Structure 1
Amino acid sequence: MADVLVIQNSTSGGPSRMAGWLEEGGLTLDVVPAHAGAPLPGGLRHDAMIMLGGGYLPGDDERAPWLRDARRLMEQALATGVPVFGICLGGQMLAQVAGGEVRADAGTPENGSLPVTIRPEAATDPLFHGLPPVVPAIEHHKDAVTRLPGGAAHLAETGACPYQAFRVGERAWGVQFHPEVLPARIREWRVEGFDPDEVYARAVADEPVSTPVWRTVIGRFAALAITGTAAGTAAGTAAGTAAGASAGVSGAA
């Protein structure tokens, strides 16, 4: 069975519901709690890699010394074509490692479930094709990618943060939002300027629309990891069609 290395960068930032989606797709998870001192592998021997979020910049080695090894594994994945999915900090790390730019306190902070616009470039993307034009996604960040790597495909955006999703090469994706997070997690976040009850209620209301879409995207990633680019895209397309039908593939306000 194919396996995926999942690097956890914060105590509460585990794979959450995404674990079940990946397992449904046929992947075995190897979750490494790097934030707790668990050593990262010396080399990438997995079929795929997922870099989760955390309250750091990608190069914040002084506070999070394991990030140096995490970047090394990201570089190896890019060099060898191992499928990568980076979330929040993980997406920022992918952008930086591939030659883009990440800045602290960039623009307006985003928190809670917000409408993410899927760009036309996503129409041919193995993971993001056929999605509704606007999908709710849970956000929790103030740092952001401010310049994509050269040649990257720009897949999704919000008004406050343009680079919500992108692809580097053919097999590496970064997202600023959190497809793995359930609304209950928002209860743990306290962000100045946001009413926690209001933010939570919005996420609960959006979940019936957002969940089937992000489940489809993660399922496509699992298929890609198992069967390779061409077959994985075909399998993901079929899975996405079925999931899109169940979700109504309707836009979200």
Structure 2
Amino acid sequence: MSPAHTPVVTVVQLDAGVPLDRFADWLDGVETRTVHAYRGEPLTVDEVGDGLIVLGGQMSALDVDVPGIAATRTLLAEAVAAGVPTLGICLGAQLLAVAQGGRVHVAAPPGREAGVIEVHWRPEALTDALVGPLLDPGTPEERRTTPMPSMHADAVVDLPRGAVWLAHSRQYPYQAFRVGPSAWGLQFHPEASPATLHAWAQLHADVDTAAVDEAVQRHDRSIAAHGALLARTFAGVVRERTQDAVLV
């Protein structure tokens, strides 16, 4: 690998309606390639490249008969074992949890979490390589919150053994976690634009689309700023690992 190598991040898209969205413009200094798992496009860990992002979808992490689900669970387990920087978003986070021995509840009793939620960061988040840059250590713990888009009814109910719990919301406990040194699961959607969240809201009869739109409009400047920082920080983790591999 030469010093001029541009890191490649593979994006696994599990649902045609859940794209990389705004992250496409925020992943600085890396190239992305998308594998459309819902079309049955194959992928092995040897083909991932320097980083891995697994997006969300309308299906369940337990729907192993749905194209891409079982293969992506296997891929996530292999990526973690190989030390590939990995980010799972919503369904991607649930798949990461299951792949590492955690547990997901389909149609969890608290109900659908939709719109803009307050992500409450735990003390462990302060020193985390991905989410730590979002936080001011001088802010009291009860005020370490970030507004983020959300749209899910399934939820992680048991983290994998050894996972680091990073954040919760009022409705669901496991909004962010880390497995090993460089694999993260985010239940919320830092990549989602207002148009994308609007489209998702319209898919569900139990969601007030107008309320979702209003909340997004009110918070989108903060959402975009924090989403961009998350994406750029993840890209930085990928670049750092790539540089370390060059030195070795």
TM-score, normalised relative to structure 1:
0.85
Shift of 1:42: 6.5
Distance between the aligned counterparts of 2:45 and 2:160, measured in 1? 26
What are the residue-to-residue correspondences of 1:48-67 with 2, within 5 Å? Answer: 48-62=51-65, 64-67=66-69
Q: Select the residue among 32, 40, 50 that pairs with 1:29.
A: 32
Partner of 1:3: 8
Q: Residue 102 of structure 1 corresponds to which residue in structure 2?
A: 104
Pairs aligned (count) = 228
Distance (whole Å) between structure 2 residues aligned to residue 68 and residue 193 of structure 1 = 29
Equivalent position amino acid for 1:57 in 2: S
**TM-superposed deviation, 1:41:** 3.8
Which whole-Å CA distance do the structure 2 matches of 1:230 and 1:3 have between them? 13
Q: Is the 8 A contact 1:138 1:179 kept in 2?
A: yes
Structure 1, unaligned stretches of length 5 or more? 232-253
Gaps of 5+ in 2: 1-5, 136-143
Q: Distance in 2 between matches of 1:195 and 1:67?
A: 29
- Over the residues paired in the alignment, what is the CA RMSD in angstroms? 1.7
More relative contact order, 1 or 2 (CA 8 Å, 6+ apart): 2
Q: 2:14, 2:158 → 1: CA distance?
A: 23
Match 1:91 to one of 90, 93, 98: 93
Q: Is the 8 A contact 1:118 1:131 kept in 2?
A: no
Query: Structure 2 residue aligned with 1:129, among 103, 127, 132?
Result: 132
Instruction: Kindly provide the CA deviation profile for residues 133-190 of structure 1, in whole angstroms up to 9, marking residues without a partner as x.
Output: 1111111100000011111111111011110000001000001111110111122123
Query: CA separation in 2, counterparts of 1:100 and 1:72?
Result: 14
User: In structure 1, what is the Cα distance between the partners aligned to 2:163 and 2:8?
Assistant: 26
* Pair 1:149-2:160 in alignment: yes
Aligned to 2:18: 13
SS at the partner of 2:227? helix
Larger CA deviation: 125-134 vs 163-172? 125-134
Q: How far 1:36 moved relative to its partner?
A: 2.4
Matched position secondary structure for 1:138: strand
Residue-by-residue CA offset, 1:63-94 (whole Å, 9 max, x unaligned): x1322221221111111100000001100011
The Cα of 1:96 is off from its aligned counterpart by 0.7
Q: How big is each residue's C-alpha offset from its partner over 1:17-40, in whole Å with a ceiling of 9 and x where there is no partner?
A: 101111xx2110110111123232
- Which residue of the partner structure matches residue 119 of structure 2? 116
CA distance in structure 2 between the aligned counterparts of 1:19 and 1:207, rounded to whole angstroms: 17
In 1, Cα distance between equivalents of 2:229 and 2:20: 16
SS at match of 1:39: coil
Would you say the 8 A contact 1:44–1:76 is kept in 2? Answer: no
| CA apart distance, 1:108 | 2.4
Q: Distance in 2 between matches of 1:79 and 1:207?
A: 36
Partners of 1:211 and 1:37 lie apart in 2 by 32
What is the TM-score normalised by the length of structure 2? 0.87
SS at match of 1:161: coil
The aligned residue for residue 141 of structure 2 is none
The 8 Å contact of residues 164 and 179 in structure 2, kept in 1 or not, is answered as yes
Contact 2:76 / 2:96 at 8 angstroms: preserved in 1?
A: yes
Structure 1 match to 2:76: 74
Alpha-carbon spacing, 1:108–1:194, altered in 2? closer, same or farther (3 Å): same
Percent identical pairs in the alignment equals: 37
- Aligned residue for 1:203, secondary structure, equals helix
Go from structure 1 to structure 2 and tell me whether the alpha carbon gap of 1:54 and 1:164 turns closer, same or farther (over 3 Å shift).
same
